[in-house]
Amino acid sequence: MNILLNTKAAKPPYAAAKRALELGAEKVIAELKASGLSGRGGAGFPAGVKWETVRNATGSPKYLIINAEESEPGTFKDRQVLSENPHTVIEGALIGALTTGCTQGYIYIRPDYRKPAAAFRTALEEARKAGMLGENACGSGKPFDIEIAHGGGAYICGEETALINSLMGLRGEPNTKPPFPAISGFLEKPTLLSNVETFAYVPWILTHGGEAFGQLGVNGSKGMRLFSVSGDVTRPGNYELPVGTTARELLKAAGGVKGTLKAFIPGGASSAPLPPDMLDTPMDFKPLAQAGSMLGSGAFIAISNKHSMRDIARNVMGFFEDESCGKCSPCRIGCVRINEMLAAKGAPNKDLLLELSDAVMQGSLCGLGMAAPNVVKGGLKYWAQDFGQ
Ligand SMILES: Cc1cc2nc3c(=O)[nH]c(=O)nc-3n(C[C@H](O)[C@H](O)[C@H](O)COP(=O)(O)O)c2cc1C
Ligand code: SF4
């Protein structure tokens, strides 16, 4: 079953937003909680709890931000949703705004997403014409509109506090948390910030009910989600499947591995690679954490045995070295040192490499540094021979 991909594109008027107005904020939040919808940007925070926090936060005006930076390597789902179904994202954001009291919205889109941005711009105009956005958004008597903002193309600007700083015209660097954006975000006001996909599922949940969405999950998980599949697979692309689908089933949906599978990265470049005997792990936050990795943004990368995991680790760590914003020294210096060790001839000192990885992960201010060495630690754990051990 598909909700967001390869479905008839939604158009105004927005029936789910009208239903949300009839239900009232408390019931909308209850539906979201029942749905089990968790954030699709990487951290997996429960959407209902976030909406409730923003609704209860004091401070005015309140802002809403759609995170369309989509910078985690291997992730390309938001691009397809924005291009094919932009009204679903606008309607989800509108419901979020009406429920939590946000009066101004922004979508932060990475600069190279020209087509998705153009599709979104057209949809915004259609929504305004239909009275869904504007001074009396969806007949609510309250204002809400969305402005398009483009970043400069930095990975770190996908991190919520760095994104907000960038949107405010400051350097795109993360802040320490708390305070979280839900309490103090854009212009230090309560801000409902979520990923494109998170907002996009909201209209279906309001139309069919939170329970119905939750029941779509399998293996004890709730709902549907998008998986970007890439690497050594027959049919790379986006797949919409129940949360909890095993990695093996996901790989099968993408036509299977090209060659012999050596490793898979389940949640984007910042998640630890796992060996093929873990393919029966359900693609959800808890089972993947128990397996020693993470679901992240749901970006699955298949790696065949033609690759050395040391090369993969160098490639990924090279990306993080480039994209480190430099604000804190464990990440700024540590990523460089790890890369130097990986690039040097001969076998690196394994204990030192692990110690350095732990130091970067434990001492970094934000998720970039906290997760960057996962590829090294996972690589050394299962494919030590590739590192000359
Ligand atoms: C280094 C880093 C990069 C991130 N990049 C993105 C991104 O590109 N898109 C995104 O939605 N979330 C990204 N996130 C997660 C956001 O900080 C935030 O948790 C998310 O946008 C919240 O929305 P959600 O609750 O719908 O997931 C990133 C986090 C980190 C630490
Ligand atoms: S961990 Fe890295 S990306 Fe994050 S704030 Fe520190 S230097 Fe910047």
> Which pLDDT tens digit goes with each residue over 197-244?
999 999 999 999 999 999 999 999 999 999 999 999 999 999 999 999
Q: In what order do the strands lie in the sheet with 102-109?
A: 145-150, 102-109, 62-68, 191-195
Distance 158 CA to ligand 1 centre (A): 5
Average pLDDT over residues 170-175: 97
Position 276 pLDDT exceeds 90: yes
Q: Whose CA is nearest to atom 18 of ligand 1?
A: 160
305-344: per-residue pLDDT in tens?
999 999 999 999 999 999 999 999 999 999 999 999 999 9
Backbone φ and ψ for 68, nearest 5 degrees, come out as: -120, 35
CA-nearest of 232, 219, 290 to 265 is 232
In the chain, % of residues over pLDDT 90 = 99
Position 1 pLDDT exceeds 90: no
Q: How far apart are CA 63 and CA 132, in angstroms?
A: 17
67-121: per-residue pLDDT in tens?
999 999 999 999 999 999 999 999 999 999 999 999 999 999 999 999 999 999 9
Position 139 pLDDT exceeds 90: yes
Distance 352 CA to ligand 1 centre (A): 31
Distance 307 CA to ligand 2 centre (A): 29
Helix (H) or strand (E) run with residue 195 in it: strand 191-195
**Mean pLDDT over each residue of the chain, to the nearest integer:** 97
Q: How far apart are CA 137 and CA 145, in angstroms?
A: 8
Enumerate residues 6+ apart whose C-beta is below 8 A from 83. 115, 116, 119
Q: Enumerate the β-bridge partners of residue 227.
A: 239
Q: How far apart are CA 44 and CA 182, in angstroms?
A: 15
Pair 103, 143: CB distance under 8 Å: yes
Number of residues written out for the chain: 389
How much is the pLDDT for 60? 96
Distance 197 CA to ligand 1 centre (A): 11
Return the ligand number nearest the Cα of 173.
Answer: 2
- pTM for this structure? 0.98
Helix (H) or strand (E) run with residue 260 in it: none
Q: How far is the first Cα of the chain from the last one, in angstroms, to the nearest whole number?
A: 46
Q: Enumerate the β-bridge partners of residue 39.
A: none
Pocket probe for ligand 2: among 157, 361, 368, the residue whose CB has the most ligand atoms within 8 Å is: 368
Position 356 pLDDT exceeds 90: yes
Q: Whose CA is nearest to atom 23 of ligand 1?
A: 194
Q: Which atom of ligand 2 is nearest to the CA of 162?
A: 5
CA-nearest of 144, 194, 104, 124 to 21 is 144
Distance 161 CA to ligand 2 centre (A): 12
Q: Whose CA is nearest to atom 8 of ligand 2?
A: 325
Structure tokens at 377: 């630690």
Distance 162 CA to ligand 2 centre (A): 10
* Residue 368 CB–ligand 2 contact under 6 Å: yes
Q: How far apart are CA 284 and CA 225, in angstroms?
A: 10
Structure tokens at 171: 């350097």
DSSP H stretches of helix in 222-324: 247-253, 285-290, 309-323
